[in-house]
Amino acid sequence: MTETQQKLQTYEQMFAHRFSSEDHEYQQYVQRAADPPPTVDDWRGRGGGGGNQRGRDNRHSKWRHFIFHYNMLQINVNFREQFYLVQFCSVLFYLVLCYSIQFYYI
């Protein structure tokens, strides 16, 4: 026999009764009492402010300038108008970019 087949037979003999009624360690594990669920203390203190900051001015946000301008540009328009507006802005950006590159290489 080859060495691999000998190892395979050895492992088959070693683990023949694994997780069965003849495996005493497994039976002890199955018959023990269930572990209690873990308890987590209140890790987030409620004192000292914090809480819900939604809708409040966040002056330290790096996106503050974008949110400010975005809120000023909010208009009630339907989907088609939004689509055309996005297309117009992207074409306008492309034209400005091409125009600035044109003067860069002169």
Please indicate, yes or no, if residue 59 is contained in any of the structural domains.
no
Between residues 47 and 17, which one has the greater pLDDT? 17
Q: Which pLDDT score is estimated for 86?
A: 82
Question: Higher-confidence residue: 78 or 101?
Answer: 101
Give the number of domains in the chain. 2
Residue span of the structural domain in which 3 resides: 1-31
Average pLDDT rounded to a whole number, residues 14-26? 91
CB count, 10 Å around CB of 63? 9
Asked if 18 and 26 touch (Cβ cutoff 8 Å), the reply is yes
Residue 17 lies in a domain: yes
- Collapsing DSSP states into helix, strand and coil, what is residue 99? helix
Rounded Cα gap, residues 19 and 17, in angstroms: 6
The answer to whether residue 3 sits within a structural domain is yes
Count of residues making up the chain: 106
Kindly state whether residue 91 falls inside one of the protein's structural domains. Answer: yes
- The HSE-up count of residue 5 (CA atoms within 13 Å, CB side) is 2
Q: If pLDDT is split at 50, 70 and 90, which confidence band does 81 have?
A: confident
- pTM for this one? 0.32
CB 11 within 8 A of CB 17: no
Mean pLDDT of 32-46: 77
What pLDDT score does 91 carry?
A: 87
Give me the pLDDT at residue 25, please. 92
Residue 39 lies in a domain: no
Please give the pLDDT value at position 62. Answer: 56
